Amino acid sequence: MGPVPTLLTLLTAVVLLLQMDLISYVAGAAAKGLAEVDLLGMRRSLVVHAAGGIFVLLMTTVLSIYKPRGLTRYGWRKQQSQIRERP
């Protein structure tokens, strides 16, 4: 995995872990039976963060798997040096 997907994965994991306090609060409030109207903004925030996290993690997976066609500069140079070494 390259540096960009790795950094995006770490950033996403940190953001989602920071949401754990809010998740605990909403779960506790729901267990106590607080009105759903009181939790609406918090629930929206959780949904947005979760959807964003899933999107970013899917994009990092695509970036890690997708390989463009053709050779990189390194591959081209290596291929040229092998061609020159042949008798």
In the predicted model, what is the mean pLDDT of residues 45-74? 87
Count of domains for the chain: 1
* CA–CA gap between residue 81 and residue 87 (Å, rounded): 12
Is residue 87's pLDDT more than 80? Answer: no
* CA–CA gap between residue 63 and residue 45 (Å, rounded): 27
Q: Which domain holds residue 20?
A: 3-85
Q: pLDDT-based confidence at 2, cuts 50/70/90?
A: low
Averaged pLDDT score across all residues of the chain:
85
DSSP string of the chain, one letter each residue = --HHHHHHHHHHHHHHHHTHHHHHHHHHHHHHT--HHHHHHHHHHHHHHHHHHHHHHHHHHHHHH---SS--HHHHHHHHHHHHH--
Which pLDDT does position 38 carry in this prediction?
A: 73
Q: pLDDT-based confidence at 42, cuts 50/70/90?
A: confident
Q: Is 60 exposed, middle or buried (0-12, 13-18, 19+ CB in 10 A)?
A: buried
In the predicted model, what is the mean pLDDT of residues 45-58? 92
